[in-house]
Amino acid sequence: MGAFEFDSKADLSARSCNFCGNGSNESNGRNEETCIIVQKIFDQCRIQKCLGSSILGPARAARSETPSCNDMLCEGDIIIPPCNAADVTIRDLDLTRIEILRKRPNPLQKGCWDIELKYVFNYTLEFRRADGCFIGTIDATNSHHLRVTLFGSTEADVTTVTDQFENAASKGGPFIIAEGKAVALNAELRFPGCNTCNPCHSCNPCHSCDCDSSQSSGDAALGAPIAVNVTIGLFTIVKLFRTVNIMVNSLGRCVPERCTTNATNSDPCNGFEDIRFPLDLFSPTAKPRSCCGFGTVFGDDCDTRRSREDCDA
């Protein structure tokens, strides 16, 4: 008898286990009540937040994938742009990870939980001179701490364990799910300002400056750039859930269909001659389009003889 073959007379229902099938009313009929375990969301919220330099602070050096003894910055150091940099752009932004720092019951609201999360962003800064010539790039990072309070029901004084996840035990609190998406909005050079000779820093005699230089791009006429300010848009959803038993109407078991596989030695040319010839690839479009880009159709009065060099002039 194969691994998935059973005696046709075998009773596979839970009630064949000497009354151990409590909570399972499944039968051969349809639309029967069945007890299942689910992850029920008790509370959730969504946050859309613009993170400027006043929140993130200046761009900092990220960990280099290929460390070099010639590296001038250590991980976490404030990035000092090249002295001849006149422009900076941010690209390849990635919300690298979301860390759960803290989860504890709210002391004032019964059933509510205070959650603290850390969002870590990695991206690349690209520097150019005033004439547009490329200078170089550097990997950068910033992080943001977020605190929210959600309802997760009262804490149960029981210990829960399952062998599904390496016997991980839980003390009855709700679980957290956090999802996020980051969007790069802007990057700009920060120049000296407010009569400061350097960025305000605890090790710097200019630390006691009168203004908050993190919220100002300064004045380029006062010298070379001293830092980079970035603006990042954050979309995130935070949920609290618990594992609960619920009763649902069941239509029976799911029976998978038979798998269909292609032969490993099949000829890749089979069927190629039956594909429609892509004539569109060999015929230029007759529809007028934007002269200065690759966007949507703008109108019939577009002078298609203009080049992108003409548009950039």
Tell me, yes or no, whether 106 lies in a domain: yes
Question: Average pLDDT, whole number, for the chain?
Answer: 77
Tell me, yes or no, whether 64 lies in a domain: yes
CA 84 centroid distance within chain: 34
So what's the pLDDT on residue 137?
A: 92
DSSP 107: S
- Report the number of distinct structural domains present in the chain: 1
Nearest CA to 172 out of 220, 79, 243, 84 is that of 243
Tell me, yes or no, whether 303 lies in a domain: no
Domain that holds residue 209: 42-246
Structure-token pair, residue 223: 């010298």
Structure-token pair, residue 68: 């070099």
Q: Encode the chain (313 residues) as per-residue pLDDT tens digits.
A: 454 444 444 454 544 455 455 555 545 556 788 899 999 999 999 999 999 999 999 999 998 765 554 456 788 899 999 999 999 999 999 999 999 999 999 999 999 999 999 999 999 999 999 999 999 999 999 999 999 999 998 866 677 777 776 656 666 678 999 999 999 999 999 988 654 444 544 444 444 444 444 445 555 556 788 999 999 999 999 999 988 899 999 888 888 888 876 666 667 777 777 788 887 777 777 666 655 554 444 444 444 444 444 544 4
CB neighbours of 37 closer than 8 A, spacing ≥ 6?
243, 244, 245
As a whole number of angstroms, the distance between CA 88 and CA 228 comes to 8
pLDDT tens readout for residues 269-298: 777 777 888 877 777 776 666 555 544 444
So what's the pLDDT on residue 216?
A: 53
Tell me, yes or no, whether 195 lies in a domain: yes
- Would the pTM of this model clear 0.85, i.e. be above it? no
Tell me, yes or no, whether 279 lies in a domain: no
Tell me, yes or no, whether 295 lies in a domain: no
Tell me, yes or no, whether 182 lies in a domain: yes
Nearest CA to 47 out of 128, 149, 189, 126 is that of 149
Tell me, yes or no, whether 223 lies in a domain: yes
